[in-house]
Structure 1
Amino acid sequence: MSTPAINLWPRWLRILIVGAATATAIGSGWFAYRYFAKPVVLTVAAGSADGESLALISAISARLSASNSHVLLKVSDAGSSAKAAELLAAGKADLAVVRGDTRGLADARSVLLLTHGVVLIVTPAAVSADSLGDLHDTTIGVVGGAINAPTVEALKQVYQFDRAKVTFKNVAINDAAASLASGKVHALLAVVPLTEKYLAKVRQFFHQERAKGAGLKLIEIESAGAVANVAQYYESYEIPKGTLRGAPPVPSDDLTSLRLSYFLVANKSVNADAITDLAQSLVDAKRDLLSQFPILAQAAAPSTDADALIPIHPGAATYYNGNQQSFFDKYDDKLYYGSLLLGSLISILVAAWRFARSGRGPESMLEPLYEPGNEIRMAKSEAELDQIERRIDSILKAELARNAGGEGADGAEMAALGLASQRLQYLMSHCRTRLDHTLARPASN
């Protein structure tokens, strides 16, 4: 019976090949696991004049890292909402914190509504005007400068400031109080969330220089509805009574103004599954950071309406609409094909094991017992028969030893082995008889 060429390979070479193949399979599986299980890192651009936006996003990023979230944030200081939007549009950031009136958001999709900013126009109480339309010969300091330019432009579309001789002048946050006290400006316009931290900053504008101890009041934007119609990123909003001060209350009654939203947005090309996981992680982080950042109390799901100012990201919509898939629904196909692959790998490993064991000898010892039959028939001397008999004895002893160790043949094979040995014993006796007759014939002559 011919021996396969593969059985002629050294055993160490077969073991080396199988070992290398097994290591390659395990390594490939490990790298595949690491690829699919490793966290997704998204770059988020944030920035504001007071630095609060960057501090908030940095805290959220740290919280996601601490909670081993599948989506992690890499924070980039953009300096302003406008710059953050530019980085997002240029593909240099995956996410950005932006104001609703920021330009260049065509590719942006909302993930989380972070908070609302309210337009506050604050003047000393001595100013006689109560509404924006009543102001005349007034310079309004725009706190924050260029970031509030869209607000000023929206107001100019409704109010005739040129006729009323109302002008606007950009002032830095740190210079706002001094500008008001020196008379360089007569009122201050700021866009801030209605939280105690920001309202305290507004009050500070009236506690320095000559304005120290002076009363303050809020100017109503009575045509807020008209402004919201021409600039849809704003909405009319009623500032509650006593928001700025409780006793005496400022304002003394609910006051009409404008409000706009701050969003965490993602580029529309960002993977939907990653944004779904991020939205869930952000909601969880909100609960943990609320005491440190009370502004997060205003955080909520963005609008899912088709005509929303910033359309919602499909991944975020999946989470907020409760359409998240379960683990098995999400990975059903992967699990199915993975089970097929696992079965194939097991078959390959079994074949590899047999390949590595090839050459160690047949699983059954019947095959080696077939060959001595022809050798016995062709034997020319008693010495040859003795040599063949010793080889047969070795084969039988080896098989019996394997059987005693639990690795030998089953009952049927052992019965066949017994028949084969009897057959060889018969041939051996017959051959010895033949040889005896052959050797005795010349002596009789």
Structure 2
Amino acid sequence: MSAERLLNSGTLLAMSHRYSIRLSRKIFLILFSLGLIVSLTAYVVIKRNRVHHLTIAAGSKQGESYLFSQAMAQVVAKYNPKIQIKVLETKGSKENIRLLEEKKVQLATAQADIPALPSARIVSKLFPDMFQLVVQANSGINQVSDLKGKRIGLPPEGDGQYLSFLFVAEHYGLEKTDFLGLAVSEKETDEAFRQNKIDAVFRVRPPGNKSILDLVQNRGGRLVPIEQAEAMNIKQPALDADFIPKGTYQGAPAIPPTDLPTVAVPRILLAHQKVDYKLIQEITSILYERRRDIEAVLPEASYISPPSVLVGTILPIHPGAQAYYDREKPSFLQENADWLGLLLSVALMIGSWALQLKSQLEKKQKNQGDNYNQEILVLMKHIECCKDLARLEQIRHQLFSTFESVVNALDYDQITPESFQSFTFTWEAAIAAFRDRRSTLMAKPTPISKSTQVK
């Protein structure tokens, strides 16, 4: 199709429309980008100001885990009001772990020897719980094996402490039928011990526990050693050999009178794996950096320490807690600074080359557009000086030929859409000048030669 027919069919209008579409797309992209930035900014602002509500399964209100959970919740809220922790009373470690797995709570305390479920992640070791056996002074019980045929006050069935006692009893060759277990609340057990309705009380508690203190100081209770912890560790790696220090429950006379061998198990803080790692990182940070505030409520908080393989559990550490523990380790950027610096230099060099090439291409496109405009301006001067219709027709063909070249140049990105837009204004001016000049020439009378005059 010739250039003239292209023009007559509205090609110039179509090319202008194409430019308008390209411009509209650019405007759309700019507006879309601005909208996206505003939306992301609003999202970040809302997220940063959001108050996060978590629940921790904490065991019995009489236990140190519950007291610790209360203290932790208060300290976290003090130093980061956007994290509010609700403390939930439960029957013990086993229920805590179940609630965590069912996503009914986000945090939980538990004994490290109670098998955790797949969704649980370790945050921190809290304090050592110790197996403590208190017996009536005249019970004749001097070691665990003497519990055969005795009445024993135990934590409720299913509780972690209950399971720990069964483990110890089995190690010493005792079966459930060898003793009478009274598995009720701690308050009911203590009352039964005071009334001599039971011969012994078993607890898994930190040294200095208040209820045990009352039993040995005011109710005639006597602490009995629980030995062979090293042997138990073979079956249950979470258990360690430890001792209740002399004088823990009374200084003079000392209770116990000597360092009393027993079994220790870490009390640990767990979090569900789906809890935002930034929340856990912040809680872990407060737990360690504001530990003094928690110790003021619960002295056992002084034992808080990072988890390790020595805990005896195969559960992984929560990513948020791990991020806090790794805070002083060199980052990936620090470890690979040399290589990253080299890559950055290469990237900057390549980017500089790309910008130069782009600049050169744009300059070339602009120059080419300017050349086409110059061609039209030259043709316009010829139009103004033209005195012959035949010559004017030649100029017209040159105009359309140049137009066709510009259309092809635009299709092959040899000129920019802006250059094309500029060219169309010049070209239309030339066409208008051509039409005016043609009208002027056609209006002039044609001179008659002398040979044709009538004699």
Structure 1 contact 135–164 (Cα < 8 Å) conserved: no
TM-score under structure 2 length normalisation: 0.60
Matched, 1:283 2:288: yes
1:138 maps to what in 2?
150
1:244 maps to what in 2?
249
Q: Indicate the larger mover: 317-326 or 115-124.
A: 317-326
1:203 maps to what in 2?
213
Q: Distance in 2 between matches of 1:256 and 1:127?
A: 20
Query: Cα gap change, 1:68/1:175 in structure 2, threshold over 3 Å: closer, same or farther?
Result: closer
Equivalent position amino acid for 1:48 in 2: G
Partner residue of 2:129 out of 112, 117, 134:
117
Matched, 1:26 2:37: no
Query: Cα gap change, 1:172/1:273 in structure 2, threshold over 3 Å: closer, same or farther?
Result: closer
Partner residue of 2:185 out of 172, 195, 203:
172
Residue pairs, 1:263-342, within 5 angstroms: 263-267=268-272, 279-304=284-309, 308-313=312-317, 315=319, 316-317=321-322, 319-320=324-325, 324=329, 326=331
Q: Distance in 1 between matches of 2:329 and 2:279?
A: 12
Equivalent position amino acid for 1:47 in 2: A
Cα deviation, residue 181, structure 1? 2.2
Query: Cα gap change, 1:76/1:135 in structure 2, threshold over 3 Å: closer, same or farther?
Result: closer
2:99 maps to what in 1?
87
Cα deviation, residue 117, structure 1? 1.0
Q: Percent identity?
A: 20
Query: Cα gap change, 1:36/1:263 in structure 2, threshold over 3 Å: closer, same or farther?
Result: farther
Query: Cα gap change, 1:58/1:187 in structure 2, threshold over 3 Å: closer, same or farther?
Result: closer
Partner residue of 1:77 out of 74, 85, 88:
88
Structure 2 contact 58–69 (Cα < 8 Å) conserved: no
Output one character per residue of 1:153-192: Cα deviation in whole Å (capped at 9) or x when no partner.
1122123446996432113122233211222212222211
Q: Secondary structure at the match of 2:309?
A: coil
Structure 1 stretches lacking a partner, 5+ long: 208-212, 348-361, 381-426
1:411 maps to what in 2?
none
Q: Distance in 2 between matches of 1:73 and 1:154?
A: 37
Cα deviation, residue 100, structure 1? 1.5
Output one character per residue of 1:251-283: Cα deviation in whole Å (capped at 9) or x when no partner.
011001121111123456778787666644542
1:49 maps to what in 2?
60
Q: Distance in 2 between matches of 1:23 and 1:54?
A: 54
TM-score under structure 1 length normalisation: 0.61
Query: Cα gap change, 1:23/1:174 in structure 2, threshold over 3 Å: closer, same or farther?
Result: farther
The RMSD of aligned alpha carbons is 5.3
Structure 2 contact 123–271 (Cα < 8 Å) conserved: yes
Equivalences, count: 364
Output one character per residue of 1:220-241: Cα deviation in whole Å (capped at 9) or x when no partner.
1134444444444322211100
